[in-house]
Structure formats: C-alpha cells, structure tokens
Chain A
Amino acid sequence: MKKIFGLLSAALFTVLAVVAPSFAADVIKIGVAGVHTGDLAPFGIPTVHAAKIVAEKYNKEGGLLGKKIELIVLDEQCKPEVATNVATSLVTSKVVGVIGHICSGATKAALPIYKQDKIPVISPSATNPSLTKIGYPVFFRTIAPDNAQGKLQEEFIVNKLHAKRVAIIHDKGDYGKGLATYLKNYIEKSGKAKVVLFEGITPGAMDYSAVVQKIKRARPDVVMFGGYHPEASKIAMTMKRKRLKMPFISDDGIKNDKFIQVAGKYAEGVYASGPKDVSGNPLYKVALNEHKKKYGTEPGAFYYNAYAATQALFEAIKKAGTTDFAKVTHALRTNYVETPLGKIKFDKKGEAEGVGFAVYQVKNGKFVQVYAPSK
C-alpha cells in the first residue's frame, strides 16, 4: 500500500509539474476552451483546428507584439461545472484572451470568472441571447444569437412559405428549446399564423414515430424542429415514410454535411437556417485550403466562425499594441477585420456586425441558400 501511495504521489507531482503554468514572458497565451471529447466533440474540435491554424500563421509572421502565440487548449465537455474549472485554469495561466466556449450552458457558467479577471472571450458558437448581457463587457461572439435566427425563421415561414399552421418540435435542450420558443413567440406576435403543436422530444430516444403521428394529426403547413441533426434526420425520415409532405425546417444544428450524410435521400428538400453563405469570400477559400492542408479533411461545425474569432482577437491585440483589456476590447469594437465571414467588428453588446443568418434548402445533396433577409 505504501508503495502505491508513493507511486501515486510521484505521479501526482509529475502531473502537477506539467500542468503548472510556466511563466515565460516571451509568449502571449490564448485559451481555447470547449468540448473536445464525448458525443459533442464534433462541435468543438473544429474550433481548436481553426485556432491552431490561425496561431501558426501569425507565429510564422513573427507572432503578436513581438511574442510567440501559445494556445492553451482545454476540454470542458460542455459541462458547466467543468467549464468553471477550465475557466479558472485559464485565468490562472494568465491568458490574455479566450476562444470559446462552445455550448451556451458552459459559457454561461464560465463567464463570471473571465469577467472578474477582465479577459476577453470570443465564442464561435454560443448563441444564447442572454450571454451578451451576462458576459458584458468581456463577451463577444462571431455567430448571431438565437433570437435573430428565430426571427428569420418566422419571416421565412410566414412570408415565404405562407404557412398558416405551424408545428414546432424541439429537443428540450438549451439551444433547441430556446430557439423553438423564440419562433413560437414571433409567430404568435405576427398574428399571421397559428402554432398548432409545440412539443419537446427526448433526444437519443429510439424513434419518434409517435410524435410524427401527432404532427400528422395536427395538420400543419410547416414543421419546425429546434435541435441537432441526429434527431432531425430521424424525424425527417419518419415524416417521409408516413407520407407527410409539408416542408420541414430546422436550424443551424442540422446545417452541416453530417445531416445530409445521415439522412441521405430523406434530407432532400429540408430547410435549415444557418450563417449566411460566405463561400464566395476569398478568405473563406483560404481558410478551407489551410484546413485541408493541415488536417486532410473538410472543416467541421463552426470552423469559420472560430477562424474569424481568432483573427479578430489577434488583430485587436495587434491594433491595441498591448494586451490591456480596455484597449483590446475597444479595438474589437471599433476595428474592422477581414475574415472568412466577411468584414466584421463587434457592436456595443458584443455581437458581431455583419454576421447574420440565411435559410438554406437541401438540393441534390447540398445546402443551397434560398432566402436571405434584405438587411
């Protein structure tokens, strides 16, 4: 037993030695926090890739303020309690900015810690509208909040699809239910359509045929689902099998290749809202090629948002000429940066200006933009 204790403590100390922050002054430390393991990992890993690619690029050109950029990548599994641990760890390691977190719940838990130590946080994916309020003034994001997405969906459903009866299903998750609730409220406010069904389903359940029967009975003109692609593809598939022909629209959580791959032929015709199509942007192609070169694959979810977030942070530090919080955030709010998402800066609340949503439809196995707001 003694031996084991000896071993254990030796192991513990080695680990601590590794974990313990090294206080070298010649680097600028940037935290990258998000989910990197478990079933949500596909949403978090592209952000790590983006941060690494951008940091490498800057380092090749001599780093920032004459110092090398060092990334501290930490996994919080999208769990709020782990996120606070990770946030404290980043704060203790004296990072000057954070790219992350990925999930809204984890971000919510972590923000107060960054706020107290005044560290700017740019999330590529946390869309909960309340975050900019909770996280002011440290929080920024390169993705539009849920209410913007809900508003767009309402416009599309009511004005373009001319639906009178709308069925709304959600996955009872933070993101899905939040979005579904915004849509419901907007539709009810518009007075032009009626919400005939509003229900949550259990994510990961074996199948959803009972709920699809219920949709069938409610006779909606449009079905909207708030949530992620595994459930969405099951519902889309079951709907087609049960001969339900009305349009099916979902959100950014399904606007990825995975959905099309998994749903296969059942994906055809499905609508999804997602960030505006920026593939025409030359920087988009640059970012895409860099990912292909380094990782050999097409980038995953939120890659471009993370790319833009990292660029914005680095450029702000460059522009400010210091890592001082007030100056960096001032630069974030005033200085336009060319990114794959277009030319962006952040507004007072911390929302990226010029980043918006559009509606896509699956045509021949690809998402094609079919509606973008006039703004």
Chain B
Amino acid sequence: MDWSYFLDLFMSGLTKGSIYALIALGYTMVYGIIQLINFAHGEIYMIGAFVALITATILTSMGLNLFAVFILAILVAVIYSSAYGFTVEKIAYKPLRHASRLSPLISAIGMSIFLQNYVMLSQTADFVPFPEIIPVPKFLEKVSDYVDPVGVVIIVVTVVVMIALSLFVKKTKIGKAMRATAQNKTMAMLCGVDVDNTISVTFVIGSALAAIGGVLIGAYVGQINFYIGFIAGLKAFTAAVLGGIGSIPGAALGGVVLGLTESFGTGYVSSDYEDVFAFVILVLILIFRPAGILGKSNTEKV
C-alpha cells in the first residue's frame, strides 16, 4: 500500500468534498423547508464566484493586500449571492407555494437557464482567470510537500462554517423557527412563526454558503465561467441526497463521501468512470438506507 498516494487522494477528495458540502447545505436547507430541489442554487454559487472575481479585480487595482482582498471579496460575494437567492425565491418560488410540487421545480430550472445566460450575456462566455486570493499561513507553506496548503485552508474554512451553521440552527431563535417551519408549516405559523420570513432567511443563508464555496473553488482552480454552477450544483444535490436530504450534518457528510468516492475511484480505478462511481455509491447507499445516510425515514401515517 502506497500511503503517500493514499493520503494525496484523500486530501484531494476531502477538498472537493468540502466544496460539495458547502453547496449541498443550501440544497438541503431549502429542501428541508419547502421540499423543493432548488435547481438555481448552482447558479447562485456561480454568481458568488463572479462577484468575488469582480470585487477582487477592483480591490487589487486599488492596491489592497491579499488578506483584505480575500475577506472583502468573500463578503461582497456573500451579500450579492444572498440577495440573488432572496430575489429568486420571491420571483420564482413564492408565488408557487400552493402549486403542485413539480411546478416550482420547473420554475427553478427556468431560473437556472435564465441566470446562466444573464451572466454569459452581461459578462462573457469565456473562461476567465480567477486570482489566487486564498491567503496561506506561513506554517502551512512548510508542509506543502505533503499536503496542498490551499486545500487545507478550504477544509478549515468549511469546518468553521459548518460549526457556525449548526450552532445558528440549534441555538438562535430564527434557527428554531427554521426547524419548526421544516417540520410543519401550518403548526409553525400557529405558534407565531413568520413562515415567509423564515423561508427567506433559509434562502439567504443557503446562498451565502454557496457564495463561500464559489469563492473558494474559484481561487483553488484558478478559473470560472458562467456554466460552473450547473455541474457543481448537480454534484452537490447528489451529495445532499446521499447524506439524507433535509439534514444539515447529512449534507456535510454526503459532500465528503462523494468527494472521497470520486477521488479514490479516479486514483485506484479510472477517471473515465468518475461520475459513475459517484452515482453507483448513491444507488448503493439508497438501496440500504432509502432516506440517505443520516436521513430519517419517517414512516408514513395514513
């Protein structure tokens, strides 16, 4: 067994998995609360990456240092992605709250096509370079022979965000409102929860996480275009289902499992079938746990 090879693959899988997890959280939260596969979520991630790139370009030309550029780019990207997530919900999903379940799904797909083309037309169809704005602490540079320091930063940021999110959902009042709404909308409303507001907050938080993912991946792979959201979104959605859609720790776990599966599948078998591994592991897990790894399979009552 070649351990350094194993470790390398493990690190790439974990890095990729972290990004999947960040996007998957948005899917899972939205799904948990309104049972909608938000197809436009990948596009929110893409917009986050673009806004960060534009911000970084402006700030760099003003001569700010790397760390400030990184923080501000993330901040602006988070603000804008949240704004887009919020607006998309108001336009495309809110009017459909009482429609059959597939109508918002199609509306979401329409939104996704619209946003892709919106960015393509207003900016560019080409790939654009993304500056390497992730600051790497000194002590990590020393170990860069063994692990990719940027990957480590991505994993750490993801873990911190996850912990913050769990605390938010568990401890705060709005977090409680979110859980209540997810369980039973009518009941939550009767208990004085502003359901519309809570749904908006869910979209805003999900979009913010996607934006962080977008900035990290942009800076990690060094390029973005208007189409990156579609594939990433598909993978993240798979991760969310894998972990048990609706469950926040499930999304994190699902992302990591998916990232590792792809990485080890590529490393030990063949990258020709990278996506096949992803879907095969999904089917296997769903056969044995039909509601995902951490999903609760609630018995239906008649």
A–B contact, 8 Å CB criterion (strictly below): yes
Q: Which residues of A contact B (CB under 8 A)?
A: 38-39, 41-42, 172, 199-202, 204-207, 209-211, 213-214, 216-217, 229-230, 233-234, 237-238, 241-243, 258, 261-264, 266
Is B5 an interface residue, CB under 8 A from the partner?
A: yes
Interface digits, B117-160 against A, CB 8 Å rule (1 contact, 0 not)? 00000000111110000000000000001001011000000000
Chain B residues with CB below 8 A from A264, complex form: 129, 222
Given A202-B271, A204-B227, A206-B19, decide whether A213 and B9 contact each other with a Cβ distance below 8 A: yes
Query: Do residues A39 and B145 form an inter-chain contact, with CB atoms below 8 A?
Result: no
Given A207-B220, A213-B9, A264-B222, decide whether A42 and B275 contact each other with a Cβ distance below 8 A: no
Query: Do residues B262 and A210 form an inter-chain contact, with CB atoms below 8 A?
Result: yes
Given A42-B126, A258-B126, decide whether A213 and B267 contact each other with a Cβ distance below 8 A: yes
Query: Do residues B129 and A262 form an inter-chain contact, with CB atoms below 8 A?
Result: yes
Chain B residues with CB below 8 A from A241, complex form: 148, 150
B window 203-254: CB within 8 A of A: 217, 220-223, 225-228, 231-232, 235
CA–CA, A237 to B218, complex, Å? 13
Q: Distance in Å from the Cβ of B118 to the closest Cβ of chain A?
A: 14
Query: Do residues A41 and B125 form an inter-chain contact, with CB atoms below 8 A?
Result: yes
Q: Distance in Å from the Cβ of A213 to the closest Cβ of chain B?
A: 5
- B130's nearest neighbour on chain A, judged by CB, is A262
CA–CA, A243 to B15, complex, Å? 18
Chain B residues with CB below 8 A from A211, complex form: 266, 271
CA–CA, A345 to B226, complex, Å? 40
Is B300 an interface residue, CB under 8 A from the partner?
A: no
CA–CA, A230 to B231, complex, Å? 14
CA–CA, A133 to B235, complex, Å? 40
Residue among B125, B129, B151, B262 making CB contact with A42, cutoff 8 Å = B125
Query: Do residues A201 and B271 form an inter-chain contact, with CB atoms below 8 A?
Result: yes
Chain B residues with CB below 8 A from A229, complex form: 127
Query: Do residues B12 and A210 form an inter-chain contact, with CB atoms below 8 A?
Result: yes
- 26 A/B residue pairs, CB under 8 Å, sorted by A: A199-B271, A200-B271, A201-B271, A206-B235, A207-B12, A207-B15, A209-B15, A209-B148, A210-B266, A213-B5, A217-B5, A230-B127, A230-B223, A233-B127, A233-B222, A233-B223, A234-B221, A234-B222, A234-B223, A237-B222, A261-B129, A262-B128, A262-B223, A264-B129, A264-B222, A266-B222
Chain B residues with CB below 8 A from A261, complex form: 129
- B262's nearest neighbour on chain A, judged by CB, is A210
Residue in B221, B225, B232, B263 whose Cβ sees the most chain A Cβ within 10 Å: B221
**13 additional A-B residue pairs with CB within 8 Å, beyond A39-B227, A209-B15, A237-B222:** A41-B125, A42-B126, A204-B227, A205-B274, A210-B264, A210-B267, A213-B8, A213-B9, A214-B266, A233-B127, A234-B222, A243-B145, A262-B128
Chain B residues with CB below 8 A from A172, complex form: 272
Given A201-B274, A206-B19, A262-B128, decide whether A39 and B235 contact each other with a Cβ distance below 8 A: no
CA–CA, A200 to B271, complex, Å? 6
CA–CA, A365 to B2, complex, Å? 38
Is B197 an interface residue, CB under 8 A from the partner?
A: no
Q: What total of chain B residues lie within 8 Å of the partner, measured CB to CB?
A: 40
Query: Do residues A210 and B13 form an inter-chain contact, with CB atoms below 8 A?
Result: yes
- B231's nearest neighbour on chain A, judged by CB, is A204
Chain B residues with CB below 8 A from A205, complex form: 231, 274
Chain A residues with CB below 8 A from B271, complex form: 199-202, 210-211, 214
Residue among A199, A206, A233 making CB contact with B231, cutoff 8 Å = A206
Residue among B15, B145, B221, B232 making CB contact with A237, cutoff 8 Å = B221
Chain A residues with CB below 8 A from B9, complex form: 210, 213
Chain B residues with CB below 8 A from A39, complex form: 125, 225-227
Q: Distance in Å from the Cβ of B134 to the closest Cβ of chain A?
A: 12
Residue among A201, A216, A217, A230 making CB contact with B225, cutoff 8 Å = A230
Q: Distance in Å from the Cβ of B6 to the closest Cβ of chain A?
A: 10
Is B16 an interface residue, CB under 8 A from the partner?
A: yes
Query: Do residues A214 and B274 form an inter-chain contact, with CB atoms below 8 A?
Result: no
When A and B form their complex, which 10 residue pairs have the shortest distance between CB atoms, in order from nearest?
A: A209-B12, A210-B266, A210-B263, A200-B272, A213-B8, A262-B129, A210-B12, A211-B271, A230-B127, A262-B223
Chain A residues with CB below 8 A from B150, complex form: 241
- B151's nearest neighbour on chain A, judged by CB, is A209
Chain A residues with CB below 8 A from B183, complex form: none
- B145's nearest neighbour on chain A, judged by CB, is A243
Query: Do residues B222 and A262 form an inter-chain contact, with CB atoms below 8 A?
Result: yes
Chain B residues with CB below 8 A from A234, complex form: 221-223
Residue in B151, B232, B266 whose Cβ sees the most chain A Cβ within 10 Å: B266
Is B270 an interface residue, CB under 8 A from the partner?
A: yes
